[in-house]
């Protein structure tokens, strides 16, 4: 949390502090646009519930998952100091790859299975909604802390052009709370920029269907549960076309680390087997291009 403290101190010492500046424009602000994501997700499990035999039994990596989609964001001013907002992203995966590796010994030694696959299907959905509290520091700068509900859903496919019947899937659901600090600075009457730093804590739930493994139940072969946390950085540049419309570009980086948890396999015999889920790491790079209108 040190980065948020430094961020706040910086703005408390802005030279042109002006507590009597004009209020922000009232009404509804809508932003819509296109979205490109490049993401990766990797996770592993141990051989037993104690995290041993071996400490990494199986490891799955989804790499360079490219997706295209659209987003819509709405922001409504309830009072001079309270905003309510919502952001929805929806992407379809167009390209990607990955590896599935199993090991006999600790620390990724003595691999006995290693297979590359393609992952050019799936989706990514994100939702953020909550309240923001803008604080105007001058006629050119606004600092806005926010508290938001945070939700992402992803579905990955494991495919192989030489095995058309391979249609395995892995789905994740991360939900929790996000806090953020945003600074918006007007460089002139046409151009503005903003920087947002966010921190989130989430519950992690995943389900997989290993469709060719006959010993597993289907459509849920195993599940994983845990908790995690992460951060996000957004950098925005906008250009005001007229009183009603602006164009905007956004670059984002999002990283979420998932802690150790429980992996439960569901067998056709009716037996459930639990082992240690070693955690996961999810990384997303995003670029948005949109248009903003005030109603």
Domain that holds residue 69: 27-294
Residue 11 lies in a domain: no
Residue 5 lies in a domain: no
Residue 8 lies in a domain: no
E-strand stretches of the chain: 28-45, 58-79, 82-105, 109-118, 122-132, 135-136, 141-160, 163-186, 191-209, 222-240, 245-258, 261-266, 272-294
Q: Regarding predicted confidence, which is higher, 294 or 114?
A: 114
Residue 279 lies in a domain: yes
Confidence category of residue 27, pLDDT binned at 50, 70, 90: confident
If you average pLDDT over residues 27-41, what whole number do you get? Answer: 95
Q: What is the pLDDT of residue 80?
A: 84
CATH code: domain of residue 289 = 2.40.128.90
- Any idea what DSSP says for residue 217? -
Q: What is the pLDDT of residue 251?
A: 98
Residue 147 lies in a domain: yes
Residue 13 lies in a domain: no
Q: What is the pLDDT of residue 16?
A: 36
Residue 63 lies in a domain: yes
Decide if pLDDT at 22 tops 50: no
Q: What is the pLDDT of residue 137?
A: 84
List pLDDT tens digits, range 273-288: 999 999 999 999 999 9
Q: Residue 164 in contact with residue 147, Cβ under 8 Å? A: no
User: How many domains does the chain contain in total?
Assistant: 1
Weakest-pLDDT range from 48-57, 138-147, 217-226, 246-255: 138-147
Decide if pLDDT at 211 tops 80: yes
């Amino acid at each position: 949390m040190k980065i948020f403290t430094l961020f706040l101190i910086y703005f408390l010492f802005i030279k042109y502090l002006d507590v009597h500046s004009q209020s922000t424009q009232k009404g509804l602000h809508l932003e819509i646009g296109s979205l490109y994501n490049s993401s990766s997700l990797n996770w592993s499990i141990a051989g037993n519930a104690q995290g041993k035999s071996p400490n990494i039994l199986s490891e799955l990596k989804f790499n360079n998952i490219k997706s295209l989609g659209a987003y819509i964001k709405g922001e409504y001013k309830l009072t001079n100091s309270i905003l309510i907002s919502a952001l929805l992203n929806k992407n379809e995966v167009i390209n990607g790859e990955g590896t599935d590796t199993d090991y006999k010994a600790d620390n990724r030694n003595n691999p006995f299975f290693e297979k590359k696959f393609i992952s050019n299907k799936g989706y990514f959905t994100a939702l953020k909604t909550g309240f923001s509290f803008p604080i105007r520091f001058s006629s050119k700068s606004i600092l806005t802390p926010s508290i938001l509900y945070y939700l992402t859903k992803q579905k990955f496919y494991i495919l192989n052009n030489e095995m058309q019947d391979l249609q395995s899937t892995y789905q994740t659901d991360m939900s929790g709370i996000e806090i953020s600090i945003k600074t918006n600075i007007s460089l002139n009457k046409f151009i503005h920029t903003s920087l947002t730093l966010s921190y989130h804590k989430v519950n992690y739930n995943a389900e997989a269907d290993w469709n060719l493994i006959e010993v597993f139940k289907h459509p849920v072969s195993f599940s994983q549960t845990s908790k995690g946390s992460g951060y996000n950085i957004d950098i925005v540049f906008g250009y005001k076309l007229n009183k009603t419309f602006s164009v905007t570009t956004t670059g984002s980086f999002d990283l979420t680390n998932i802690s150790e948890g429980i992996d439960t396999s569901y067998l056709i015999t009716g037996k459930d087997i639990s082992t240690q889920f070693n955690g996961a790491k999810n990384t997303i790079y995003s670029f948005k291009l949109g248009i903003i209108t005030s109603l």
